Every structure is written in structure tokens, then in C-alpha cells.
Structure 1
């Protein structure tokens, strides 16, 4: 199983912690040490599972808006986007549990025209206000269909590290990785009002694969 490069520090810390607790358990608890070691081994395995990098057959897309992450669609609503677009848009929010793949992908193809990091709170990621109050990033892409599409990585109650590896002027390719969020979190995608929304609340998404919306060239 291939692991994401962001796993290195976490796995080192987890390995040291597991080894120390296991040794102390064996020394002090003797035969009862398995009551501690087995649950810890399960948690240790889940750390590796969290950082897995699944193989995905990423296609080229022009009009399609691709799910940027694995997770569950928890919100589809009309909102006013006041950071960059300054207009009403459709917000599609996808929540990622700690068991989901946390690679973040471009939802559309085009060119990156904006990026910004925002420090903030750590409300639970499904909270509506987390989109504007939590630690987050904002990225905007001028799509191949000549639309401005904005999207945000949002830290959750557990997530404390957001990575986004793109810069203004970079080429964006729908479905390809631009960042990573550690542990439970959320991604919001803000689309023009005339966008055809294909997903619905409750849908499970596979990042880089599933089409969540479609925009026609303007």
C-alpha cells in the first residue's frame, strides 16, 4: 500500500508512542498487556490506513466538476460568496470522516487565479459556520468553460494541518491532487448559479472520479 508523503511525521510519532506503551505494558502488566497492546495495534493500523493513496484512473474533463475528495455530500445551497466572487453561488460541501482518503483534488480544470490561507477556529467540520470561521484555505480556478470556481479546505475539530500545494498561475487539472488535510475535515466548492448539480445530499463521493456538477462553456 502506497502512503502519502504527509504521513511521515505522524507515523514516526505513532510508532514511537506505540513502542513505548507496548514495552511499559509488557513490563508492568505481564500477561494482561494484550488488553492494552491489541487496541493500540488497531489504532496504529488505522493511522496507516488514513494515509493510503489509492490508485485512481483520472480522466480529462472540461465541463465536468469532479468530486475533490472522498466523503459525503452534506450541503447543497445558494449562498453569497464574499471573499472573492462577491456574488451568489451554489455551495456544495463534502464531509470527510477520519476513515476517508484525505487527498484534496482540483474540482475543475483551468488556471489557479487565487489562493489564501485563513487561520481560525476548529468547529466540527459539518457545522455550517466552519466554512467561514474555521482554519481554512481558499483556492479559485478560472475554468476551461470560463467560469470562476472557488473551493475551500476546512479544518475540523480533529484536523490541525492543512496542506495546499498550488500557486497563482498554476495549471489546474480536474481530479489531480493539490493538497491534503489530516483527519476529519470538509471541502466546500462554490459554483455559478447556472451550474447543473448532479449530486444530492447524502451521496458518497470518490475524489477524482465522481462527477458532482456540470458547467457549459460561456
Structure 2
């Protein structure tokens, strides 16, 4: 077992800085107007600005986590609830039989995604699409998404999809092909409620079931076997 820290000083998601800055300026403006006019209108604006500012800070929170990596152990690619686990054929990126685990992230979940298993990034591809409700099964193929394929050093290829939803209209992935990644490493962000799909080799021993809550980088999702085993 290897254990390493994934700490950093900035406690908010990479990619959320612009939004946080906008609402901080809005709050500062509301404070200024309150001191200038001190009436019910300025007070109401101040309360609304403070509420929105706190809501944005809460949404973009990105807590540090101690990641415990084990050979072949797949960890949660993000926070959320498991809504589907099925066997299927993934024709586009892996061209193979797979097990697909789908997670739904609601507004209260941490929306930062983490690498499920160490390896090398083989592909990162953005696909425009629809904005159906993220929990619907067809959202995996029809909605806008970013697909990332990683070669997991003897355990096969893993596909991770960040999928936009009816509210979430933007996915971010910070990686590029050729990057070497570690288990639990931050790699992306989806704004507001959304979905993450994880495609694993068909021999994966699943360690979660539908209805389970998953914590990104922490919850064991599946145990993989070496390709030659």
C-alpha cells in the first residue's frame, strides 16, 4: 500500500476562482451600498449577496484528502451516489466489454473529480451534446461530456466520463494525453448537479452497489486483476 498527501493551501476547486471572484466583488459592492445608504433595499441586497457568496464557497469547496493507493484498487472518481451498475459494450473509446458504474452528484456534493487509478492519460475528448437530467440512463451518451481514458499499468484501460446535466453546463478537465497520474489526484470539475460514469474491465470485482454514497479518492469502487492473471 502506498499513501501520499494530496494537500494544497487553496481550499476551493481549480476552475472556480473566476466565479468566486465575481461573487466576492458582488458582496463587497453590497457592503459599500449598505454603508452608503443604510436602508431596507441596501440591507436586502447585502443579505442576498452574502447568501450567494456563502453558497458559491460551499459549492466550490475542495477539501484535502489523504489518499491510500493499493495495486489495482479503483477509488471513487468523485463524490455522489451510485445510481447504476451494468455490463455493456463500450464501442466508442474502449471497444470492449465493460462494467459501467454511474454516479449522480447533487448540489451538496463536492464537484471535484479525482483519478480512479494510477496510470497514464491516453485520451481526453470533449463531446458537445444535450443537457438532459443527469440521472437519466441515456444521459451517458446524449449529454455533453468529457471522456478521459487512462492506461492503468497492467490493469487495462479505464474510461471516466464527466457528464453535464440540466443545471451543470460546463465540465473541466485539467489533464492532457501523456500525463502520468496518481490514484486520487484531482483532475477536473463539473459545475453544479451532474454525473460521472466509470467504465471498468468486465473482470472487475465491484465493491459498491446501487444506492451507496461515494467519496472521491477514498471509497473503494472495485478491485482489478492484472491483465495476465
TM over 0.5: same fold?
yes
Q: Which residue of 1 aligns with 2:84?
A: 75
Contact 2:11 2:64 in 1 (8 A): no
Q: Which residue of 1 aligns with 2:112?
A: 103
1:134 to 143, 146, 168: 143
1:170 to 179, 189, 205: 179
> Aligned pair 1:211/2:220, yes or no?
yes
Q: Which residue of 2 aligns with 1:90?
A: 99
**Alignment RMSD:** 2.3
Cα offset for 1:207? 0.4
Q: Give, in whole Å, the separation in 2 of the partners of 1:26 and 1:199.
A: 53
Cα offset for 1:23? 7.1
Q: Give, in whole Å, the separation in 2 of the partners of 1:161 and 1:126.
A: 16
Unaligned 5+ runs, structure 2: 1-9
Which deviates the most, 38-47 or 152-161?
A: 38-47
1:48 to 52, 57, 66: 57
SS at match of 1:91: strand
1:64 to 68, 73, 88: 73
Aligned residues: 218
SS at match of 2:71: coil
SS at match of 2:67: coil
SS at match of 2:226: coil
2:40 to 31, 44, 47: 31
Contact 1:163 1:180 in 2 (8 A): yes
